[in-house]
A and B are shown apart, each in its own frame.
Chain A
Amino acid sequence: MTMVELKNVSRVYLGQSGPVYGLSGFDLRIAEGEFVCIVGPSGCGKTTLLNIVAGFEPPDLGEVLIDGDKIAGPGTNRFVMFQEHALFPWLNVSQNIMFGLKMAGIPKREREERTAALLKTVNLSDFSTAWIHELSGGMKQRVALARALIMDPEILLMDEPFGALDSQTRDMLHEEVELVWQRTRKTILFVTHNVREAVRLGTRVILMTAKGGKILREYPIALPRNRFLEDVEVVKIASQIRDDLRHEVLRAAKEEGYHVD
């Protein structure tokens, strides 16, 4: 059963030297419970793809279907974890986590119970009344994860959420995302520039073209879970993807007339 379906989606931006294709004729089907990672060179349209599925940007052509229904704008069945944390500085940690429930009119008692449970999940119980600027980068992303999980969306969209973190913190957050996915089997669309991260987490990795916003190749990842970044198999597949990525970048550079050794 297909959960998310992109049909012939195109999105064009006006660049300084003519049109730039964020996506063009993009087709993708993501089944329920899949963990799809999108990788590609910077400027390849990964974030455009995520923004369109989130409903932040409308596609110029084509359509996005969720369970067969065409989307029109953002909805509560999808939740986005941004590159930067996007937590509200005027609210403390637990107020941030329960904000969505408050908007949905959930009674205070229930809000607080669910928030306390999630704070425990992301190991932040001691920080429930801290202000956002008092937290480290990793703690902020954990709050952001808790805020996403409390909304219990069908689809989790993640836009390089761990790109700005140090490697130890990132390892810990990989564990947490892994746990969440194994427990809830939410459909996840995860954008990253880190190929090994994609192989470590994904059930499928999609490599995009450098220009033109298309899929270059897909790699089903059938390795057993839980995986680690250092696993030989993970490294092997990642290096293959990285080779393909390097060729793609060189090809695109040559096409533009750069001389590359």
Chain B
Amino acid sequence: MSIEQEEQSDIAKVRFFAQGYHVWRGRAARLGFFVLLIGVWQVAASLELWNEVLFPHPKEVADAVVLGMRDGTLPQAIEASMRRLCMGYGISLLIGIPLGLLLGRKRLLDDTVGSLAVGLQALPSICWLPMAVLWFGLSETAMQFVIIMGSLMSITLAVRDGVKTIPTLYLRAAGILGATGWRFYWYVLLPASLPAIITGAKLGWSFAWRSLMAAELLYVTSGIGSTLMMGRELHNMALVVAAMILIITIGLLTDRLIFRFGESFIHRRWGFGGRD
């Protein structure tokens, strides 16, 4: 290697480490911030300004999590909630994505079914619970129904809007390349709408998650929402906070593990959107 080449490779190395430095500095800052937050919480709890029942110690919350995990109540609650969520959300995706693709293409369908979806979107999903209980009784079906009504419209409408903003140029190119009928939907419309489908899926997920928690709070059954409610009834504030933290964690993990994957896929191919 010549001296110039060595110098250049040194510069490249420095750049590489500088990039890593930014990433790690961001992570360290985030970690430090949350440690600080827990510290402030610890101090506030030790001052005993409030009744211990109303303002639990961080340690008590941690103990509640550990205890719940050991005796199996928390894993059971998580499993019950996730099972409902996966069923309800899965059905919403299965109906919502094709429906959104169709609404984006068929004017008449959009004018009728599309405007119904917009109307239903204005109704908070928990308002479906009374009807769901009357129709399906105190059952899993009732819960899933609420989740579907909560997430289906947002998925459908996000996909529809995505289809409507596909550049005309792609559609014309598809026409002259001979993509007609089902081939057009499968090979052009579906992939061209992928960015919108991922946005819709993400939106639908957060609506489904909120709907489920609301339903579990209002309706005594199993699940994380019910654990939260049980904590209130037992005046076990540590359990309430533990359940809340669990709800946040599951929400964040899903975003990181599932949607980031989709977003970076889009980023690689389209060269825009997503996160790095």
Residues of B close to A86: CB separation below 8 A? 167, 169-170, 172-173
In whole angstroms, what is the CA distance A236 to B74 when docked? 85
Q: Nearest CB to that of A56 among chain B residues?
A: B172
Contact of B178 among A73, A84, A100 (CB under 8 A): A100
Query: Which chain A residues (180-200) contact chain B, with CB distance < 8 Å?
Result: none
Given A82-B169, A86-B170, answer yes or no on A74-B175 (Cβ-Cβ < 8 Å): yes
A211 within 8 A of B: no
Q: Nearest CB to that of A76 among chain B residues?
A: B178
Whether B178 and A104, one on each chain, are in contact in the complex, defined by CB atoms closer than 8 angstroms, is: yes
Given A54-B176, A78-B176, answer yes or no on A103-B183 (Cβ-Cβ < 8 Å): yes
Given A84-B169, A90-B191, answer yes or no on A76-B271 (Cβ-Cβ < 8 Å): no
Given A82-B169, A90-B191, answer yes or no on A103-B271 (Cβ-Cβ < 8 Å): no
Q: Nearest CB to that of A84 among chain B residues?
A: B169
Residues of A close to B170: CB separation below 8 A? 86, 88
Whether A103 and B169, one on each chain, are in contact in the complex, defined by CB atoms closer than 8 angstroms, is: no
A134 within 8 A of B: yes
A80 within 8 A of B: yes
Q: Nearest CB to that of B194 among chain A residues?
A: A90
Contact of B271 among A74, A89, A102, A151 (CB under 8 A): A89
Whether B270 and A103, one on each chain, are in contact in the complex, defined by CB atoms closer than 8 angstroms, is: no
Smallest CB separation, B185 vs chain A (Å)? 13
Smallest CB separation, A93 vs chain B (Å)? 12
Contact of A131 among B183, B187, B188, B268 (CB under 8 A): B268
Query: Which chain B residues (168-210) contact chain A, with CB distance < 8 Å?
Result: 169-170, 172-173, 175-179, 183, 187-188, 191-192, 194
Q: Nearest CB to that of A104 among chain B residues?
A: B178
A29 within 8 A of B: no
In whole angstroms, what is the CA distance A147 to B179 when docked? 14
A99 within 8 A of B: yes
A26 within 8 A of B: no
In whole angstroms, what is the CA distance A95 to B249 when docked? 40
Given A88-B170, A90-B194, answer yes or no on A103-B176 (Cβ-Cβ < 8 Å): no
Residues of B close to A56: CB separation below 8 A? 172, 175
Smallest CB separation, A144 vs chain B (Å)? 9
Whether B169 and A151, one on each chain, are in contact in the complex, defined by CB atoms closer than 8 angstroms, is: no
Residue of A74, A89, A134 with most partner-chain B CB within 10 A: A89
The 8 closest A-B pairs by CB, nearest first: A133-B271, A90-B191, A103-B178, A100-B177, A86-B169, A86-B173, A74-B175, A89-B270
28 A/B residue pairs, CB under 8 Å, sorted by A: A54-B176, A56-B175, A75-B176, A78-B176, A79-B176, A80-B172, A80-B173, A80-B176, A82-B172, A82-B173, A86-B167, A88-B173, A88-B191, A89-B269, A89-B270, A90-B191, A91-B191, A99-B177, A99-B187, A100-B178, A104-B178, A131-B269, A131-B271, A133-B270, A133-B272, A134-B271, A147-B177, A151-B177
